[in-house]
């Protein structure tokens, strides 16, 4: 009996010891995760103050010679108690805003008092045609092996995903799009968004966007929450993004000319788009003709180059939307955090905050 009692006590002790070790590990992991989260908020706050100060000093002009860009490119990890913080800052005006294909109507609950029904006025319709042509040209510049039909499907489906209704082709979204009925028939059915994109990962749900294509296009596109503007900063576009300038200029800048412009851009950038025209390549594009890719299907005779606007219409040298990517290390734990910021002279605002891969 004594031996039996000793054996039972030993078994219980070992069991309790194992549970205690698991509990201690779990508590330690929770503490590290909590500390990492607060470190990510600290990094976000430092970046907010840095961006607001620098943009205020430069009157909103952002360029690659500023501290925020230089610090985010050097890859330095800053030590903190128990770990380190590394990260980079991305100008969301150096990528194509996918939400720019959203054109609002009076049926849009987020934009009351808009255009009657789902009918766009001529100016809004031309802006949508311009945005679709730009995205179409960007896709084909990134992957020249893509078929024109596949590109049309993606562009029209994105326009349908963003519009507030569930009808294909309304509001100028095109005839190659998709709505809820199309997505419900897939292997993993879901509804069409019919609203703004909130995160770049949602683009993967749009009809025609395959995983390989998503990873190819991801460095060139972004999502600015609840904002359908498109302004590409000529000062912060990287040397690998010449095809972005080519697409946004609607072909007025060839790929070779876009590369030449970026390679000959001064480190301090330009003070204005007019100043940037001092680069002969950009000046030639401003005086040249746009060559938009309007896709397949029937052509609208009302669409003309003059109504679509000029080649440099969507370029700027100022930025106000930024994304912060932080990698936080605390003990054995490593997490990624990202935030999207709106920076103005008056305030800084966090638009989105998340953990994990952006």
User: What CATH code is carried by the domain that includes residue 20?
Assistant: 3.30.1300.30
pLDDT at 265: 93
What are the 10-residue block averages of pLDDT along the chain, 358 residues in total?
79 72 71 88 92 94 93 84 90 96 64 47 91 96 92 95 83 80 89 92 95 94 94 94 96 94 92 92 91 86 90 96 93 90 90 82
Q: What is the model's pLDDT at position 107?
A: 47
Could you tell me if 29 and 148 lie in one domain? Answer: no
Under a CB-based contact definition with an 8 Å cutoff, are residues 239 and 34 in contact? no
Residues 308 and 340 in one domain: no
Residues 183 and 123 in one domain: yes
Q: How far is CA 52 from CA 45, 63, 319, in A?
A: 11, 14, 11
297: left (phi over 0), alpha (psi -120 to 50) or beta: left
Query: Does one domain contain both 71 and 151?
Result: no
Judgement on whether residues 73 and 155 belong to the same structural domain of the protein: no
Range of the domain at 50: 1-92+319-355
Please state the pTM of the whole predicted model: 0.87
Q: Is 347 exposed, middle or buried (0-12, 13-18, 19+ CB in 10 A)?
A: exposed
* Whether 19 and 139 share a structural domain: no
In this prediction, residue 170 carries a pLDDT of 67
CATH number of residue 105's parent domain: 1.10.40.60
pLDDT on residue 299:
80
Alpha-carbon span 74 to 96, nearest angstrom: 25
The 10 Å Cβ neighbour count of residue 313 is 18
Q: What is the DSSP letter of 121?
A: P
What is the count of structural domains for the chain? 2
Spatial separation of the C-alpha atoms in residues 69 and 74, rounded to whole Å: 9
100 and 65 both lie in a single domain: no
- CA 303 to chain CA mean position, Å: 28
Residue 351 tokens read as: 């638009």
What is the reported pLDDT for 69?
92
For residue 155 the two structure tokens come to 């562009």
Same domain, 247 and 339: no
343: three-class secondary structure by DSSP: strand
Same domain, 118 and 69: no
Based on the fold, state whether residues 112 and 257 are members of the same structural domain. Answer: yes
One domain, residues 303 and 197: yes
Spatial distance between the Cα atoms of 132 and 142, rounded to a whole number of angstroms: 15
Task: Check residue 117 and give its pLDDT.
Answer: 43
245, 110: one domain = yes
């Amino acid at each position: 009996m004594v031996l039996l009692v000793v054996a039972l006590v030993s078994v219980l002790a070992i069991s309790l010891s194992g549970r205690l070790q698991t509990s201690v590990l779990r508590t330690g992991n929770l503490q590290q995760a909590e500390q990492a989260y607060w470190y990510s908020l600290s990094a976000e706050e430092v970046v907010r103050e840095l961006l607001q100060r620098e943009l205020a000093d430069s009157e909103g002009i952002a360029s690659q010679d500023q501290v925020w860009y230089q610090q985010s490119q050097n890859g330095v990890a800053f030590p903190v108690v128990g770990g380190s913080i590394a990260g980079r800052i991305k100008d969301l005006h150096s990528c194509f805003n996918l939400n720019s294909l959203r054109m609002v109507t009076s049926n849009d609950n987020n934009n009351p008092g808009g255009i009657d029904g789902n009918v766009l006025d001529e100016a809004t319709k031309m802006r949508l045609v311009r945005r679709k042509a730009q995205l179409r040209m960007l896709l084909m510049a990134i992957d020249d092996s893509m078929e024109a039909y596949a590109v049309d499907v993606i562009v029209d489906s994105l326009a349908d995903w963003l519009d507030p209704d569930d009808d294909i082709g309304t509001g100028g979204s095109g005839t190659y799009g998709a709505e809820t009925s199309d997505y419900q028939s897939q292997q993993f059915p879901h509804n069409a968004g019919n609203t703004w994109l909130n995160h770049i990962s949602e683009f993967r749900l749009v009809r025609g966007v395959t995983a390989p294509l998503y990873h190819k296009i991801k460095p060139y596109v972004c999502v600015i929450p609840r904002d359908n503007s498109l302004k590409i900063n000529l000062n912060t576009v990287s040397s690998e993004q010449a095809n972005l300038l080519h697409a946004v200029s609607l072909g007025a800048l060839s790929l070779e000319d876009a590369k030449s412009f970026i390679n000959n851009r001064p480190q301090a950038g330009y003070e204005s788009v007019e100043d940037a025209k001092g680069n002969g390549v950009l000046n030639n594009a401003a005086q040249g003709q746009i060559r938009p890719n309007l896709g397949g299907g029937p052509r609208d005779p009302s669409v003309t180059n003059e109504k679509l606007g000029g080649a440099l219409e969507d370029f700027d040298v100022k930025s106000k939307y930024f994304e912060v990517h932080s990698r936080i290390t605390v003990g054995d734990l490593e997490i990624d955090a990202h935030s999207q910021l709106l920076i103005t002279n008056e305030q800084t605002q966090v638009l989105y905050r998340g953990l994990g891969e952006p």
